[in-house]
Amino acid sequence: MSSIAISYGENGPVFCGLKSDGSHLADCYGSNPAIIHATPNHTPFLGLTAGSGFVCGLQMDSNEPFCWGSTGFIPMGTPLKADENSEYIEISAGDHHLCGLRKPLMGDLRNTSLVDCWGYNMTKSYVFDGQIQSISAGSEFNCGFLLRTGVFSAGVIKLVVM
């Protein structure tokens, strides 16, 4: 997740960035009208990420992902969350999916991390033993950094913990 994101795909590239005036609003430029015309005008974001034909931002007020553009794999134009209490600290998009790292759990579950994913062959919640610090997406997979054990990767077919 960053203050800038670049979408790609058959409808052309789009560059989106958070405005530098302190408003945290997204501003997008490029050739994909589904992204350009659907960019939220009044929603401040903590950060942005993008995939093939879509852009997502982590909403500043609710810590929920919000996506816009054109893809049949991720819901567009509505906040995403796995359940009523889901709040996220980071999101990361691949070609046709989005994953969100939930805020750390408390109490007895403080060493458990939850990652929720939406999109092509990945719509589900993943539970990991250990504290995930960050996530990053590739084409059809997500990887993360676990505080004490290192790196993990979750792909379309397999999950590897190192």
pLDDT by residue (tens digit) across 72-112?
A: 898 898 888 888 889 999 999 999 999 999 999 899 988 89
Contact 36, 14 (CB under 8 A): yes
**Owning domain of residue 115:** 4-161
pLDDT by residue (tens digit) across 103-142?
A: 998 999 888 999 999 998 888 898 988 888 899 988 888 8
The pLDDT, as a whole number, for residue 34 is 94
**Which sign, positive or negative, has the C-alpha torsion 116, 122, 123, 124?**
negative
Its pTM stands at: 0.89
Say which CATH number the domain at 111 has.
Answer: 2.130.10.30
Q: How many domains does the chain have?
A: 1
